[in-house]
Amino acid sequence: MTLTSTPMIVLLRLGSFLALAAMLTGCPSTSPLDAGDEDTGVEDDATVHSDGSMDALGPDADVHLRIDVPMVEVPADRPVPAACMVSAVVDLNARGAADGGVLRYVGDNRSALRTPSLPPTCVSSKINEGQYQVVHRYVPRISGRMRVSLDDPGTDASFDTVLSAQSECFALLPGERSLGCNNNVERSAAMRPRASEILTARVNAGAPVFIIVSGNFNEDPIVPQGTYALSVTELPEVALGAACDLAVRANACALGSSCLATGTPAMPRCVADGLRDTRCRVDTDPDCDVGLRCALGFCRTALTIGAPCGPSTNGVCPEGSVCQWVDGGNTCLRTGTRGADCRDEGTPCDASLACVHTRFGDSCRTAAPIGASCDPWGIRDACAAGSVCAFTATGGTCVAAGSVAGAPCAPSPTRCAAGLECILGPDRENEVCVRPVAPGGACDPLNATTRCTTNTDCAADSTFISGTCVAPGRAAGAPCQAVEPRCETGLTCSVATGAGRCQRALSPGAECDLRTGSTRCTGGGCVREGVTSALCRTDTPETEPNDAPAMATAITATGVSVSGALAGTDTTDCIRVTVPEGGSMVAETYTGDERVCALAAGDPMLSVFGPSGAEIARDDDSPGRGLCSTFAPWTYPQARGLPGGAYAVCVSRGDTPVPQYRLTVSVLP
Ligand SMILES: [Ca+2]
Ligand SMILES: [Ca+2]
Ligand SMILES: [Ca+2]
Ligand SMILES: [Ca+2]
């Protein structure tokens, strides 16, 4: 959570940068409610919907305001969402406690409906996000912007919140903007990295704002419901050129400008948006002046096609191109060419290439035909049109969708062949067809080809590739029981509290299980020795100073488990490994136990720097890894087919210390 705020991989392509920028800044949203063409001159009873559900004003009702707000035309057939019914909406002006200009309200979403009424724009409601919504109504006293936050010790630490705001209590139609949306805070002041905070677009005094608290379901112990503490701070506006608060906590710049530190010495002032290295314009075309392109919320110099790009380049690829890893470097590639995104219109890809679906989106590749081996995690050798990559015991094969166990499900209505059922796959993003297996039956510990029935789970055997369906707590790899003893004698639960797996303790040198986490290495980490095998290695303590790639500690072995800490003034630790020409790399971070990077143990970020010194990939929180990262051929195109040379792998942190972490790095031929 140091630089990115979401449990996603930072991809080296512009679309993702922009999506990320949206999340960092509190969403693409920002539709200022300019007093516009249709001043309705509403007095007092500001917004009244067709069913009269929203007509109650809070204590502000006695403030006799004339409000200049364009009323959104609401079609008569547009139903009032369940969460917007007057009985469900929390009137913050009436119920929140104001303290020094900050209104604070403590609530919970345990009795809210699971299905979202007002889908937030910054998460996908298709993957169990933005659920259990509670709507709050707030009438600002002054025009300007509002900071709304759930980053508060009063918010449950395990509650993964989403926060959004709208000017109307209706699901947004295409083209309608929210006032702001955020999943995870960029930096948590209250040790609540899964909590959310937004800085709204401009709001007008007296015009109600609907603030929506939702929950995401990731995996235990992260939950979509809980107690939250919501605060609302109204920020007065500062004129262009005037001094402002860089943190946008005391005030906010007027529409069309943003607070940046400029001049010598640098002073925070409101600077016009859309200029080189200033913020992109919001809701105004063009978003940046000629020759500039908006990236991560700032107008940057546009690079040329074929130019190097990536996290350490101060420029962005031009329109019609993406920054993509191809032939050992991050390069601005024109869409439709090898390694780049497919074109939206016309022929998707150049001749001899196929537009294939990968986990990183549709990409022009030399596609693998049906029956060929492929990477089911969707990175390598994606399958030709009409086929998809199915999980097998140790890899993948291109097959027709839904045809076999392990295959991605086909479109509705018949999603899987007879005898199979469609469930969320091990990448937690895509659905796969699995075969139900009764207790005692042989199963796949990855749950990619089978699903254990009757409240059993697949416990891995010594191969870590096959297993048996067992009751909780009965075998290594099986889920822990809720009460002590959580696992059978000789096994320990992977986490102290909450849902975890029973693990077998192994000594250094033993073959360990990185695939499903059924083992725990004593005094060290599990280091990959090959694509499917891994050994327990004793920890090597880090050696300071190691604060930058140039200061990295050189590692001569092909695999290492480093133990380190990031506290005090120490924010970065780097090691250096040598990769042979065409080799690949696996680097993983851990805090606490082997599999779950708990909220309380700090939030490390992983960066990889290539032989030229350029940062080739940056990953904060990988899917299924909590707050830790996995940089590997099956998660990153940058991790395989590497140019030979020295690579630095760095672990860094944000404001919160990481008292103890483990970094495992393996170099594969
Ligand atoms: Ca969140
Ligand atoms: Ca350190
Ligand atoms: Ca250091
Ligand atoms: Ca992280």
pLDDT value of position 76: 60
Q: Which domains does the chain carry?
A: 14-235 (2.60.120.380), 252-301 (no CATH), 524-668 (2.60.120.380)
Ligand lying closest to the C-alpha of residue 630 = 4
- Give me the mean pLDDT over the 99-119 stretch: 90
Report the chain's mean pLDDT, rounded to a whole number.
82
pLDDT value of position 70: 36
Tokens of 504: 């077998």
CA of 251 relative to ligand 3 center, distance in Å: 36
Q: How far apart are CA 139 and CA 248, in angstroms?
A: 20
Ligand lying closest to the C-alpha of residue 567 = 2
pLDDT value of position 280: 93
CA of 657 relative to ligand 3 center, distance in Å: 12
Helices (H), 273-404: none
Burial classification of residue 110, based on how many CB atoms lie within 10 Å of its CB (0-12 exposed, 13-18 middle, 19 or more buried): exposed
Q: How far apart are CA 96 and CA 98, in angstroms?
A: 6
pLDDT at residue 59 greater than cutoff 90: no
Query: Which residues are paired to 388 by β-bridges?
Result: 399
Lookup result for tokens 């659920």: 131
CA of 544 relative to ligand 2 center, distance in Å: 6
Lookup result for tokens 């960092």: 24
CA of 163 relative to ligand 4 center, distance in Å: 20
Ligand lying closest to the C-alpha of residue 150 = 1
CA of 575 relative to ligand 3 center, distance in Å: 10
pLDDT at residue 74 greater than cutoff 80: no
Cβ contacts of 336-345, under 8 Å, gap ≥ 24: 336/364, 337/364, 338/364, 338/365, 338/366, 339/363, 339/364, 339/365, 340/364, 341/13, 341/15
Ligand lying closest to the C-alpha of residue 130 = 1
Give the three-class secondary structure for 16. helix
pLDDT at residue 19 greater than cutoff 50: no
Give the three-class secondary structure for 493. strand
Its sign, for the CA torsion 430, 432, 438, 440, is negative
pLDDT at residue 534 greater than cutoff 80: yes
CA of 190 relative to ligand 2 center, distance in Å: 23
Q: Which of 31-40, 188-197, 390-399, 570-579 has the lowest mean pLDDT?
A: 31-40
pLDDT value of position 607: 95
- Give me the mean pLDDT over the 491-511 stretch: 84
CA of 660 relative to ligand 3 center, distance in Å: 12
Q: What is the pLDDT of residues 581-615, one digit of tens each?
A: 888 899 999 886 555 576 667 889 999 999 988 88
Q: What is the pLDDT of residues 280-298, one digit of tens each?
A: 998 778 899 998 988 878 9
pLDDT at residue 68 greater than cutoff 60: no
Residues with a beta carbon under 5 angstroms from ion ligand 4: 603, 620-621, 627
Tell me 601's DSSP state: G
pLDDT value of position 337: 92
CA of 338 relative to ligand 3 center, distance in Å: 39
CA of 229 relative to ligand 1 center, distance in Å: 14
> Do residues 522 and 507 make contact, with C-beta atoms less than 8 angstroms apart?
yes
> Do residues 434 and 451 make contact, with C-beta atoms less than 8 angstroms apart?
yes
pLDDT value of position 630: 87
CA of 572 relative to ligand 2 center, distance in Å: 6
> Residue 111 — very low, low, confident or very high, per pLDDT cuts 50/70/90?
very high
Residues with a beta carbon under 5 angstroms from ion ligand 3: 546-547, 570, 573
Ligand lying closest to the C-alpha of residue 572 = 3
> Do residues 211 and 240 make contact, with C-beta atoms less than 8 angstroms apart?
no
pLDDT at residue 531 greater than cutoff 70: no
Answer with the residue of higher pLDDT: 329 or 67: 329
CA of 569 relative to ligand 2 center, distance in Å: 9
pLDDT value of position 79: 79
Share of the chain above pLDDT 70, in %: 84
pLDDT value of position 17: 33
CA of 563 relative to ligand 2 center, distance in Å: 9
Q: Which amino acid, one-letter code, is at 659?
A: P
pLDDT value of position 23: 35
Q: How far apart are CA 259 and CA 243, in angstroms?
A: 8
Q: What is the pLDDT of residues 445-470, one digit of tens each?
A: 888 999 999 988 888 887 788 899 99
Those residues whose C-beta lies under 8 Å from the C-beta of residue 243, and which sit 6 or more positions away, are 267, 268, 269
Q: How far apart are CA 176 and CA 441, in angstroms?
A: 52
**Strands of 572-579's sheet, edge to edge?**
553-554, 572-579, 645-652, 605-609, 615-619
CA of 185 relative to ligand 2 center, distance in Å: 25
Q: What is the pLDDT of residues 169-179, one digit of tens each?
A: 999 888 888 99
CA of 567 relative to ligand 2 center, distance in Å: 7
Burial classification of residue 263, based on how many CB atoms lie within 10 Å of its CB (0-12 exposed, 13-18 middle, 19 or more buried): exposed
Answer with the residue of higher pLDDT: 394 or 647: 647
> Do residues 199 and 26 make contact, with C-beta atoms less than 8 angstroms apart?
yes
Ligand lying closest to the C-alpha of residue 552 = 3
CA of 160 relative to ligand 1 center, distance in Å: 4
Q: What is the pLDDT of residues 177-216, one digit of tens each?
A: 899 999 999 888 888 989 999 999 999 999 999 999 999 9
pLDDT at residue 20 greater than cutoff 80: no
pLDDT value of position 546: 96
> Residue 7 — very low, low, confident or very high, per pLDDT cuts 50/70/90?
very low
Query: Which residues are paired to 43 by β-bridges?
Result: 66
Answer with the residue of higher pLDDT: 284 or 344: 344
